[in-house]
Structure 1
Amino acid sequence: MRWRLPFFLICTWALVNGSFAKPNVPPLTTTLTVASWNLQWLASDPIIIIPPPPQRTRADYQQLAHIATQLDTDILAFQEVADRQAIEKVLTNDEYVFEFSRRQQESQHNNKRHTKPWPQFVGFAIRKGISYVRNADLHQLDLRGNKSLRYGVDITLLNDGKAALRLLTVHLKSGCYSQQQSTKNRACRQLNRQFEVLEQWVDRRAAEPLPFMILGDFNRRLTLHNDQMWQQLDDGRPTGLSLYAATEGQKSQCRIRIHSKHKKHRKIRHYPNFIDHIVLDERAKQKMVNNSFRELTSDVEVVKAFNLSDHCPITLSLSL
């Protein structure tokens, strides 16, 4: 396993309630890799819904772990993970620290059936040795405040004890993938309101001196021509704000196995337009390694043989 982070450092690492230990060594310029991956109902216990999510075997987890090894990322923004036990089968806790949204903890103390959230949580896997601070979750993405929609998880990476890069991971409302769908669609109304929340977060970050990124499953084909929700997010305000989607100009090669509602089997599908994105502000874009964006795909025979995910991981590198 290659190790790229003498820059992100440290001989001494600690995180308690947002506090951190200042490194004892000077920072060195190097490369940081970040990635996003929706792991599709990754859970240690079976989940009963219709259509049923993949019931994974040990071999399935081993294949997911093999993909994670190939990905070899320093920071993974994950979505649809139910619990630590499940993700530790994909990424070992010997190498990573896991930060789940507070919504996961809150759901464990919620016995009301009508407000109990589905076990789809977002978070970060952070390679040990990277210094960071956990910021407050973007819980406003849960529009009604009843834990029915997923929170965003917000962290700040540190360099020599100083803030260097802010990262937010999200998993937004599904069902409004493009402008062809009616704005009267309930999912579209909710997604539009979530983008208003996201825009407020972006505006606050743009007024600060720190570069920032948003990673995750936006459930929206943002890079299609003149997408209204993208234009809302990248509106040039505050003055000078400029956002860049690393998926711009890219086509997904991801093949997935999905459940057919009309036939009692699963089939292979390909969706060429990304709904998972890595969004950078101009300051973060300037640190992006040229041509480093990639999508990690699996051969069709592997997709047929294992219960993987209905998303492929995407990744890029930054020079910091």
Structure 2
Amino acid sequence: MDANAPLAATAPPGIPHRTPADLTTLAAYARHLNADIVGFQEVATPEIAAHIFPPDRYTLYITHDPVLQRTGVALRRGLQVVTHPDLTALNVTGQNAPHPLRSGLDLTVVHGATTLRLLVVHLKTGCWDNPPTEKAHACPLLLQQFLVLQNWISERQKNGEAFVILGDFNRRMTQHDPFFQVLGKAGTLKLATAGFASPCAGGSYFIDHVLVGGAALGWLQPNSLRTMLYTPDEQAVVSDHCPVSVHLQLPD
């Protein structure tokens, strides 16, 4: 990355620098994943994401945040989509902060007569499993973001929408986690990663999650949670996260 490039100052220190060969390797992993919907984080532009998710197979959407690393989604070609305004309320620090927090990417996938509302997130880092009473910098901000998500979920419940929230929550959530319980106040939810350890993180709890609500609770296929690992001798600069997936069976 050019340190003098626009928005370079919004990037955290130590971000990876990938070569075309690294992107080719990541694209091979994406082909192996073979998912219909892929939420992703820390991508600057759709043009860069297109190296991983080629336009002949995927349509790409990305937030409009004025930051270098944004949140997006790749949707398999043929899926109909209704886009919604970015969930900018997740930036609880404000746009003038040195490192503004990211918006959520909000859209609806249309499958025949069935709709699925999606929200892709990348939340504040640093409050991995601390209590909500923690006064350190990260936890109060993360709690504010969870309250924003609670409001978003309440709207989905009020409108009778099937929905999924997916992405990097930067929180080792379980069903008993008080942060997850904040979300549960808005309605019945299923945390697909609850009760499982991540093979990508040395056996610790997941921080990347898939959270399901509304009619989608009945579409989540039991025991479908998967984590795709990179090869042990991988030399390419890939990602510090492994893809986490579930299978939803939408009605025809």
Instruction: Mark yes or no: TM-score above 0.5.
Output: yes
Measured on the aligned residues, the alpha-carbon RMSD in Å equals 2.2
Aligned amino acid, residue 310 of structure 1:
D
% same residue: 37
Aligned amino acid, residue 246 of structure 2:
L
Q: Does 1:281 align with 2:243?
A: no
Q: Distance in 2 between matches of 1:153 and 1:53?
A: 22
Q: 1:86 aligns with which of 44, 48, 54?
A: 48
Q: Point out where structure 1 has 5 or more consecutive residues left out of the alignment.
A: 1-40, 108-116, 256-269
Q: Does 1:297 align with 2:247?
A: no
Aligned amino acid, residue 87 of structure 1:
A
Q: 1:50 to 1:75 in 2, by over 3 A?
A: closer
Query: 2:193 matched to which residue of 1?
Result: 247
Per-residue CA distance 1:88-112 (angstroms, 9 max, x = gap): 1111011111111121xxx2xxxxx
Contact persistence 2:167–2:208 (CA under 8 A): yes
State how 1:34-113 maps to structure 2 within 5 Å. Answer: 51-103=13-65, 107=66
Q: 1:310 aligns with which of 240, 245, 248?
A: 240
Query: 1:122 matched to which residue of 2?
Result: 71
Q: TM-score, length-normalised on structure 1?
A: 0.71
Q: TM-score, length-normalised on structure 2?
A: 0.89
Q: Does 1:213 align with 2:213?
A: no
Q: 1:194 aligns with which of 145, 167, 186?
A: 145
Structure richer in strand, relative to its length:
1
Contact persistence 2:189–2:211 (CA under 8 A): yes
Contact persistence 1:244–1:282 (CA under 8 A): no
Contact persistence 2:37–2:76 (CA under 8 A): yes
Q: Distance in 2 between matches of 1:80 and 1:318?
A: 25
Query: 2:84 matched to which residue of 1?
Result: 135
Which protein has the larger Cα radius of gyration, Structure 1 or Structure 2? 1
Q: Distance in 1 between matches of 2:52 and 2:204?
A: 26
Q: Does 1:170 align with 2:121?
A: yes
How big is the shift at 1:299? 2.6
How big is the shift at 1:300? 2.2
Q: 1:247 to 1:55 in 2, by over 3 A?
A: same
Q: Point out where structure 2 has 5 or more consecutive residues left out of the alignment.
A: none
When the two structures are aligned, how many residues end up with a matched partner?
242
Contact persistence 2:190–2:213 (CA under 8 A): yes
